[in-house]
A and B are shown apart, each in its own frame.
Chain A
Amino acid sequence: MITHGSWQRIKEIFQSAQNLSGSELSDFLDQACGDDLSIREEVEALLTADASNEDFLNVPAYEFAATILVESEFSAGQQIGPYTILCPLGSGGMGQIYLAEDAKLQRRIAVKLISPQFASDPRRVSRFQQEALAASGLNHPNICVIHESGITENGRHFIAMEYIQGITLREQLSRGPLPIPRALNIAIQVATALASAHASRIVHRDIKPENIMLRPDGYVKVLDFGLAELTEILPQPLGVHEASTNLRTEAGTLMGTVKYMSPEQLREAKIDERSDIWSLGVVLYEMLIGSTPFEAPTPNETIAAIRGGQSTPLKFPDQIPAELVYIISKAVEKERNLRYQSISKVAADLKELQGKLQVQPTIDPVPVYPYPGDEQHTRKIEPSGIFTRIKSQAVLTTDFLLSEIRSHKTAALFTGVSGVLVLLLLLPGAIRFANRFINPPNGSQTLDVNPITNAGTSFSAAVSSDGKWIAHAEERDGKQRLVITNTEASASSEAVPPADVQYLGVSFTRDNNYLYFTRKENDVGILYSLALPSTSPVKIKVGVDSPISFSPQENRFAFVRLDSVTTEYSLVVANIDGSNEQVLTTRKGGDRLSVYGLAWAPNDNLIICPTSSWTDHGYVVKLIGIDLKNGQEHQIGSDSWFAILQLAWERDMSGLVISARDQATKPFQLWRISYPEGIRRQITTDLAEYRGVSLADRNIISVRIDRSWELVVASATNNYSDVSSITSGVGLSYGLNWAGNKRIVFSSMAQDKLNILRINSDGSDLVQLTANSGDNYSPTASADGRFIVFSSSRGDGHYNLWRMNTDDGSDLRQLTFTDANFYPSISPDDRWVAYDNQQSNKKSVWRVPLQGGPPTRVIEMYRMPAFSPDGQLIAARYDLKSGSRDVAILSSDDGEPLRNVSIPILEWQRVQWLNNHTLSYIKNVDGEANIWSYDLNTGSTKQLTNFNRDQIFAYAWSPDYKMLACQLGTRMGNVIIIKSDQAGN
């Protein structure tokens, strides 16, 4: 045996000897080792090893790590016990989970393979098996059924359980807190599941958001009954129902779990059903508030907070009803004898409250957040009689809205997608929380809106004619993929893997054998087809810039092509293989054909395509039918629209269903247009948005978009890492600004209108400054903080700039008197307001005195001005010919362009100034939006924030540049189906 001492000698001799050979070597060894044969033996062995050692260990371990890690894992077709693996579903806390088929019972199940880390101790495994056995006896609709637990042929432990489609509550909560009705609904279902288990004397002991699954149909399923054993600390020998968590052994607990543990669980006490009550209370609190009640920076501090002596009353926002505060407080009572004693009582109290909230229409269903509309915080200062809202034609260009939205949003979920894809997501649509998912939209009692997906990442859905298949595109981490769902088997599979592309539309052939889809790749529209169930996509045609519509025989298809150089739009039909192109009609010079969808009539006589144009009344979208025989065009119905997305014919041609908005400030809704009369009727009437239409019989498939946001502040001294949330809400929000260094003004939806609100940067004193007067947004404050200038459609419905006092919204003055005036920016000396005008499809920058007076044009072709802090310069945006956008620095004296700046900003957003030589902008990388800076002197860019959030709707620097205010947002897009009874006539 080599000792430490001898090793030093061996090493030295070896290292000296390794370049010697022959007699030189043996002479050296004789001399160096002397009589110590053991040393000599070791050295010689080393030298022998060294001689053939050139390649040894020269390839790093990671070169084969992937192979090693995967080779012994399971793949499709393999058996786990009696089950055949179909595909991996993901990984959970304890190991990989696979979708598998139980051939005997002909059903799909989920198989969880326990990671070796959790199964290395036989005692733990046997306890787990006992528990799993007990849990497998549970039979309740809210409990994930455990079919069996077993061991694979090569010794891996597995659990076979019910296959549940959906997402975990954790995934759901990563998008923000839930509205009260939804949180109540989930809590009730979990409570009834627990009640059933407790009746069988089974304690879950690991109730947490990761273990609660939300199914698309609204069912909630509690996972992993009895499996807590595995993730718990390995204890000294204990009885089955004794928990084991002491502080010393905390190491084995996965992070995060302690947050949901009861005090007695953390005290090594014998735990009972009341521990689950505690955990559910914590989960309910988190659903509403967004964090757990005893959260601390480290697990040890969290444990201390949970175990700590007297409970201080939990803090709740005012909007949480007293009953709910009571229920949660009683569930997380530290002394368990004072806690709820039975979960059934919790369930009963929750249900009672649920009933009360439902029959009490005066309770606004948005009470989780401090939200404008709460009368106590609202001062309605404006005499609402002075400006009566006149129903007006929309006067904005799509381009404007796009840029408006993007300038505040710029998470660029759909960077590079032209127009409406983005519009769809983001146009006005305040969401009533109560109907975000499964409840019927407000005001339409019978409409049955059922979610197909609930991950919130979906868009572009289509259903097959028999209703069996649904295809939808979804986006994660900035990449989009195509997923096909078999609605009968409730099974989804990835049809096309994630890529840096944008899906425009999907359609099934009527025989359901093929799926066609259009997507943009590097801004080129390409049509593919895919043989079902699922093969590799085949490229059919390049230059297809819209979804397609098949002819009735499906031997031809129609689409719209956009020539980005000439900006000419063509309606094209081609053979099914892409050959034999024929142009039916074209538009140019600002007139457009819709690139969002068209519909070939079932009788093969015409194609309906929306068109847009500028008229004397502004910007108008119409439904146009193009006769396939003679090319003649006629309008369907007499209505004008602001935007139309997709459209689908009913098979008997008695009508069309379209996704459209009649006004600029309305959300996209579903409408039915009778044919040939063209009489419209609104199908959905809520404030979410419905984009896309696909029909199977009379069932409508669409994608519903819900948005929410959070207003946060962060300080420069901490590199904006100290993000604190000061308020939150739902629906649209167009712009925010600081009024002085302490107050923030921002826009937000209240009812169905955009209004301007003011809040202190510490979250206090939320005041609504505008009400009942059109849409009000893009607030910007004067340097002294006294005035707010904003864009508003109040009065005659034209979009003009107005000024009001920051304190109370008084002293209202109209600054411009034309139309389509947006993006005010006030010069630092408070003399000028620069702004953007887009009247009649022309873009220009203007300015007007803050005190009122005649406006003057600064420069044409530029947009979105922003004064530099010293007032010398204006940063503005402009269109390059190719359709890409750039930034220019203008002289604020005469508007002369001084230089162009090539910042890689994809989105139409107004850039801001961070100081006199640095601009800031929002940049989206892999689905995460952050604020970046661009140094005008050096040309270098820098990431300033690390928000880890998917969208930034708006941001602003405080006047002293010490603080950043930011509206961080979330959008949820889910495929939904509206059943025939309601959707039809």
Chain B
Amino acid sequence: MAMRSSESITQLLARWEQGDKDALEQLTPLVYDELHRLAVTYLRRERREHTLQPTALVNELYLKIFDQQRTNWRNRAQFFGVAAQLMRRILVDHARAHRTTKRGGDRFCVSLEKIPSFGTQPDTDLLALHDVLNRLEQLDPNQARIVELRFFGGLTIEETAEVMGTSHATVEREWRTAKAFLKRELTRTTNSS
């Protein structure tokens, strides 16, 4: 019953690239399914081999979905931008779906407390991060984009600089500021709720 839709994904990416906003709506579930499938495979492999190579997961996803040979990306930046944005979208959707399932409407499920990067923030989660990132986007679109590329797209400082067409130093400075902002906002959210 599997529905493979790499062709549709390719077409949708092309449409999205041409500025068709609706394409993202349609892309997300397709990519989600693919990513999910890959994730299951990877975890199964991990259990068997006792090694987790999460980067491979994304690499494979990129190869499968963002095959640059099949899509005419104008440039690398756009490609990574799209990938990061999609990854964000997918994770957030997933988190949102699970939030609604918990009794009392609490935020739930994609608690990131087990994740090192969120280690000190037991009450934060991906959705909260998403919300404050949206806030940052309004104040400082460049910083929000850097966060998207770094955190959701997994790019290094150097790669981010290349993609954004700016210097390492700028990216480093803006990234640090953005992180401080996000952390600050997340704390604020937690305290006030």
Q: Which residues of A contact B (CB under 8 A)?
A: 2-4, 7, 11, 14-15, 18, 42, 45-50, 52-53, 55-70, 72-73, 88-93, 96-97, 110, 115-118, 120, 154-156, 168, 170-171, 210, 213, 250-256, 298, 946
Complex alpha-carbon distance, A115 and B43, angstroms: 20
Q: How far is the CB of B183 from chain A (nearest CB, A)?
A: 4
Whether A69 and B177, one on each chain, are in contact in the complex, defined by CB atoms closer than 8 angstroms, is: no
Task: Determine the residue in chain B with the shortest Cβ distance to A18.
Answer: B176
Q: How far is the CB of A556 from chain B (nearest CB, A)?
A: 33
Task: Determine the residue in chain A with the shortest Cβ distance to B184.
Answer: A49
Contact residues in B for A256 (Cβ distance below 8 Å) = 5, 8
Contact residues in B for A18 (Cβ distance below 8 Å) = 176
- List residues of B (17-56) whose CB comes within 8 Å of A's CBs: 22-23, 25-26, 28-30, 32-33, 35-40, 42-43, 52, 54-55
Whether A66 and B39, one on each chain, are in contact in the complex, defined by CB atoms closer than 8 angstroms, is: yes
Residue in contact with B88 in the complex, picked from A61, A89, A115, A155, CB distance below 8 Å: A61
Contact residues in A for B97 (Cβ distance below 8 Å) = 115-117, 120
Q: How far is the CB of A442 from chain B (nearest CB, A)?
A: 33
Whether B54 and A66, one on each chain, are in contact in the complex, defined by CB atoms closer than 8 angstroms, is: yes
Complex alpha-carbon distance, A90 and B2, angstroms: 5
Whether A255 and B8, one on each chain, are in contact in the complex, defined by CB atoms closer than 8 angstroms, is: yes
Contact residues in A for B42 (Cβ distance below 8 Å) = 66
Q: Judge if B168 is at the interface, Cβ distance under 8 Å.
A: no
Q: How far is the CB of B186 from chain A (nearest CB, A)?
A: 9
Residue in contact with B117 in the complex, picked from A48, A59, A89, A156, CB distance below 8 Å: A59
Whether B94 and A46, one on each chain, are in contact in the complex, defined by CB atoms closer than 8 angstroms, is: no
Q: A91-B33, A116-B93, A117-B28 are in contact. Are A156 and B101 (CB under 8 A)?
A: yes
Q: A156-B101, A255-B5 are in contact. Are A65 and B39 (CB under 8 A)?
A: yes
Task: Determine the residue in chain B with the shortest Cβ distance to A14.
Answer: B177
10 pairs of A and B residues whose beta carbons are closest in the complex:
A116-B97, A251-B22, A60-B154, A155-B101, A255-B8, A90-B2, A49-B183, A66-B39, A154-B101, A50-B180
Interface string of B138-167 (1 = CB under 8 A from A): 111000000100111110000000000000
Q: Judge if B76 is at the interface, Cβ distance under 8 Å.
A: no
Number of residue pairs spanning A and B whose beta carbons lie under 8 angstroms apart:
191
Q: Judge if B128 is at the interface, Cβ distance under 8 Å.
A: no
Main DSSP-derived SS at the A contact region: mixed
Q: Offer 13 A-B interface pairs, CB within 8 angstroms, sorted by A.
A: A46-B184, A49-B183, A50-B183, A53-B179, A60-B153, A63-B54, A65-B58, A65-B87, A70-B40, A88-B40, A255-B26, A298-B11, A946-B70
Complex alpha-carbon distance, A1 and B13, angstroms: 37
Whether A92 and B3, one on each chain, are in contact in the complex, defined by CB atoms closer than 8 angstroms, is: yes
Contact residues in A for B116 (Cβ distance below 8 Å) = 55, 59
Whether A60 and B179, one on each chain, are in contact in the complex, defined by CB atoms closer than 8 angstroms, is: no
Q: A60-B152, A65-B91 are in contact. Are A11 and B28 (CB under 8 A)?
A: no
Complex alpha-carbon distance, A46 and B179, angstroms: 9
Which of A46, A64, A89 has the most C-beta atoms of chain B within 10 angstroms of its own C-beta?
A: A64
Q: Which residues of B contact A (CB under 8 A)?
A: 1-3, 5, 8, 11-12, 15, 22-23, 25-26, 28-30, 32-33, 35-40, 42-43, 52, 54-55, 57-58, 69-70, 87-88, 90-91, 93-98, 100-102, 109-110, 112, 115-121, 126, 138-140, 147, 150-154, 173, 176-177, 179-184, 187-188
Q: How far is the CB of B146 from chain A (nearest CB, A)?
A: 11
Contact residues in A for B153 (Cβ distance below 8 Å) = 60
Contact residues in A for B2 (Cβ distance below 8 Å) = 90-92, 171
Contact residues in B for A92 (Cβ distance below 8 Å) = 1-3
Contact residues in B for A45 (Cβ distance below 8 Å) = 184, 188
Contact residues in A for B52 (Cβ distance below 8 Å) = 66
Whether A168 and B187, one on each chain, are in contact in the complex, defined by CB atoms closer than 8 angstroms, is: no
Whether A946 and B69, one on each chain, are in contact in the complex, defined by CB atoms closer than 8 angstroms, is: yes
Residue in contact with A11 in the complex, picked from B54, B140, B183, CB distance below 8 Å: B140
Task: Determine the residue in chain B with the shortest Cβ distance to A231.
Answer: B29
Contact residues in B for A93 (Cβ distance below 8 Å) = 3
Residue in contact with A68 in the complex, picked from B26, B110, B147, CB distance below 8 Å: B110
Whether A255 and B12, one on each chain, are in contact in the complex, defined by CB atoms closer than 8 angstroms, is: yes
Q: How far is the CB of B177 from chain A (nearest CB, A)?
A: 6
Residue in contact with A56 in the complex, picked from B26, B91, B179, CB distance below 8 Å: B179
Contact residues in A for B8 (Cβ distance below 8 Å) = 254-256
Q: A49-B180, A55-B116, A946-B69 are in contact. Are A62 and B154 (CB under 8 A)?
A: yes
Main DSSP-derived SS at the B contact region: helix
Task: Determine the residue in chain A with the shortest Cβ distance to B115.
Answer: A64
Contact residues in A for B26 (Cβ distance below 8 Å) = 251-255
Q: How far is the CB of A86 from chain B (nearest CB, A)?
A: 15
Contact residues in A for B36 (Cβ distance below 8 Å) = 69-70, 73, 91, 96
Whether A97 and B1, one on each chain, are in contact in the complex, defined by CB atoms closer than 8 angstroms, is: yes
Q: How far is the CB of A74 from chain B (nearest CB, A)?
A: 11
Contact residues in B for A52 (Cβ distance below 8 Å) = 120, 183
Contact residues in B for A91 (Cβ distance below 8 Å) = 1-3, 33, 36-37
Whether B39 and A57, one on each chain, are in contact in the complex, defined by CB atoms closer than 8 angstroms, is: no
Contact residues in A for B120 (Cβ distance below 8 Å) = 52, 55-56
Complex alpha-carbon distance, A64 and B98, angstroms: 16
Residue in contact with B3 in the complex, picked from A48, A50, A67, A210, CB distance below 8 Å: A210
Complex alpha-carbon distance, A14 and B175, angstroms: 13
Contact residues in A for B39 (Cβ distance below 8 Å) = 65-67, 69-70
Complex alpha-carbon distance, A701 and B138, angstroms: 67
Whether A63 and B55, one on each chain, are in contact in the complex, defined by CB atoms closer than 8 angstroms, is: yes
Task: Determine the residue in chain A with the shortest Cβ distance to B40.
Answer: A70
Complex alpha-carbon distance, A61 and B38, angstroms: 15
Complex alpha-carbon distance, A67 and B40, angstroms: 9
Q: How far is the CB of B82 from chain A (nearest CB, A)?
A: 14
Whether A68 and B94, one on each chain, are in contact in the complex, defined by CB atoms closer than 8 angstroms, is: yes
Whether B102 and A252, one on each chain, are in contact in the complex, defined by CB atoms closer than 8 angstroms, is: no
Contact residues in B for A11 (Cβ distance below 8 Å) = 140, 177
Complex alpha-carbon distance, A62 and B59, angstroms: 10
Contact residues in A for B184 (Cβ distance below 8 Å) = 42, 45-46, 48-49
Contact residues in B for A7 (Cβ distance below 8 Å) = 139-140
Whether B139 and A57, one on each chain, are in contact in the complex, defined by CB atoms closer than 8 angstroms, is: no
Whether B43 and A60, one on each chain, are in contact in the complex, defined by CB atoms closer than 8 angstroms, is: no
Complex alpha-carbon distance, A42 and B52, angstroms: 40
Complex alpha-carbon distance, A47 and B109, angstroms: 30
Complex alpha-carbon distance, A93 and B100, angstroms: 22
Residue in contact with B173 in the complex, picked from A15, A155, A946, CB distance below 8 Å: A15
Complex alpha-carbon distance, A45 and B185, angstroms: 9
Whether A117 and B29, one on each chain, are in contact in the complex, defined by CB atoms closer than 8 angstroms, is: yes
Contact residues in A for B28 (Cβ distance below 8 Å) = 117
Complex alpha-carbon distance, A170 and B119, angstroms: 46
Residue in contact with B57 in the complex, picked from A55, A66, A170, A255, CB distance below 8 Å: A66
Whether B69 and A60, one on each chain, are in contact in the complex, defined by CB atoms closer than 8 angstroms, is: no
Q: How far is the CB of A513 from chain B (nearest CB, A)?
A: 24
Complex alpha-carbon distance, A30 and B89, angstroms: 42
Contact residues in B for A4 (Cβ distance below 8 Å) = 138-139
Contact residues in B for A89 (Cβ distance below 8 Å) = 1
Q: How far is the CB of B116 from chain A (nearest CB, A)?
A: 5
Complex alpha-carbon distance, A3 and B95, angstroms: 29
Which of A70, A89, A116 has the most C-beta atoms of chain B within 10 angstroms of its own C-beta?
A: A116
Contact residues in A for B58 (Cβ distance below 8 Å) = 62, 65
Whether A70 and B43, one on each chain, are in contact in the complex, defined by CB atoms closer than 8 angstroms, is: yes
Contact residues in A for B57 (Cβ distance below 8 Å) = 62, 65-66
Complex alpha-carbon distance, A267 and B159, angstroms: 48
Complex alpha-carbon distance, A65 and B153, angstroms: 11
Whether B139 and A69, one on each chain, are in contact in the complex, defined by CB atoms closer than 8 angstroms, is: no
Contact residues in B for A88 (Cβ distance below 8 Å) = 40
Whether A57 and B117, one on each chain, are in contact in the complex, defined by CB atoms closer than 8 angstroms, is: yes
Residue in contact with B147 in the complex, picked from A49, A57, A254, A255, CB distance below 8 Å: A57
Task: Determine the residue in chain B with the shortest Cβ distance to A11.
Answer: B177
Task: Determine the residue in chain B with the shortest Cβ distance to A210.
Answer: B3
Q: How far is the CB of B107 from chain A (nearest CB, A)?
A: 14
Q: How far is the CB of A709 from chain B (nearest CB, A)?
A: 22
Q: How far is the CB of A425 from chain B (nearest CB, A)?
A: 24
Complex alpha-carbon distance, A69 and B2, angstroms: 18
Contact residues in A for B94 (Cβ distance below 8 Å) = 68-69, 116
Complex alpha-carbon distance, A831 and B96, angstroms: 74
Contact residues in B for A55 (Cβ distance below 8 Å) = 116-117, 119-120
